[in-house]
Amino acid sequence: MKKYIVGNWKMNQNLAEIEDFFSSLKIDGAQCEAWVAPQAIHVSHLLERAKGTNLKVGVQNICEHEKGAFTGEISVASALDLGATFCLIGHSERRSLYNEDDDLLNKKVHTALKSGMTVIFCVGEQLIERQSGMTNAVLKNQILEGLEGIKPNSFQDGQLLIAYEPVWAIGTGEVATPEQAQQAHAHIRAVLAVELRLETKEIPLLYGGSVKPSNAEGLLSQKDIDGALVGGASLRGDDFTKLTNII
Ligand code: PGA
């Protein structure tokens, strides 16, 4: 299985900061996939700037509809047209701040996979859910609802990735322990295999939530962790470079 470092820039990085990122990015020899999702409005700029590097560019969200009267939305086809190769779906900020529910997320997954877009589907429990021993149940539910109707022939190997991002670890500096992350990933793999019968498919699993160069090694050395989805520490080219070296 390939390894992945994926940057989620959220609503950060102006053009000058993007220049800074590239001035300290050195991923020529990287042995992993190196992906970044900037603000959608910067996709073309980033692709231009990334020419000659191995960096792939994606979007942080897409519309569940293919086209039409949906003011302010981003279609999968337009993102692909520009050269974006992947999208995040179901990031916890989309779920909590924009009320994206499982049903909507499921439509987005279907629309994106059908169009040939690679999908990083994000799941993760809240702190209260972990504290009350509901982590496995929450993850299973998010996967079964979000991926409802997805069959082995709905996507190519590597076209669907799952990011496990405990909500309490996102942007908080409080990272899951390697053991907690591994346990959740093993559970997710089992749900994909047993409940969805996707055991024959290659589905990379990424960990996300306060990953940085100083804590990445323990997480990325776990058996069921194939990479990281990184917010804050992906904004600087030198940190991003370090993560690709660690993996
Ligand atoms: P963080 O964000 O690395 O800043 O915690 C991760 C994410 O939201 O994907």
Express each pLDDT in 96-143 by its tens digit: 999 999 999 999 999 999 999 999 999 999 999 999 999 999 999 999
Full-prediction pTM beyond 0.85?
yes
Residue 215 C-alpha to ligand 1 middle, in angstroms? Answer: 13
pLDDT band at 87 (very low <50, low <70, confident <90, very high): very high
Give yes or no: 91 in active site: yes
Q: How large is the average pLDDT for residues 4-19? A: 98
Amino acid 127: pLDDT? 95
Contact 169, 210 (CB under 8 A): yes
Model confidence pLDDT, tens digit, residues 51-75: 999 999 999 999 999 999 999 999 9
Contact 5, 230 (CB under 8 A): yes
Is 173 close to ligand 1, i.e. is its CB under 6 Å away?
no
SS3 99: coil
Task: Please give the Cα distance from 247 to 144 (Å, whole number).
Answer: 29
Number of the ligand 1 atom closest to the C-alpha atom of 210: 5
Task: Please give the Cα distance from 213 to 204 (Å, whole number).
Answer: 21
48 membership: H or E segment, kind and range: helix 43-49
Average pLDDT, the chain: 97
Amino acid 29: pLDDT? 87
Give yes or no: 202 in active site: no
Q: Which residue is catalytic, options 91, 125, 185, 187?
A: 91
pLDDT band at 230 (very low <50, low <70, confident <90, very high): very high
pLDDT at 16 over 90: yes
Residue 40 C-alpha to ligand 1 middle, in angstroms? Answer: 17
